[in-house]
Amino acid sequence: MSDLTTKLGKRIRNYRQKLGFSQEQLAERSHCHPTYIGQIERGEKNPTIESIEKITRSLGISLSQLFEKIDFVNPSENQIAEKCYEIILSKTFFEQKRIYNIIVEIEKYKNE
């Protein structure tokens, strides 16, 4: 499958895990088969837009939120930033805020 399909699957997995849902729970909520959810998350299946819409609704996010920053113009130059974004995205709001504060402190220290 394409790199985009793999990224999309990881993003769905991150949101699912952030909510504490199992693949079976997400499948039930989105009216998809659990095997299909697993295949999407592993990047083995290219989901339909209808399936993606059902999944995002079940995760409580918008389509635009799911696809936000998923495809960088030049991935080779932004690989680390993309990986950081995916890690941060999978965290709770409180954890994201703590990570942000750490980065701000590093920037302050760097500029002294």
Domain boundaries, the chain: 1-70, 72-112
Distance CA 106, CA 99 (A): 11
Phi-psi region of 22 (alpha: psi -120 to 50; beta: other; left: phi over 0): beta
H-run or E-run covering 83:
helix 75-89
**Range 1-70 classified under CATH 1.10.260.40:** yes
Per-residue pLDDT tens for 26-40? 999 999 999 999 999
- What is the average per-residue pLDDT within 54-65? 94
Q: What is the pTM of this model?
A: 0.71
Distance CA 44, CA 78 (A): 24
Distance CA 100, CA 108 (A): 12
Per-residue pLDDT tens for 85-101? 878 887 888 999 999 99
45 is written with which tokens? Answer: 């299946």
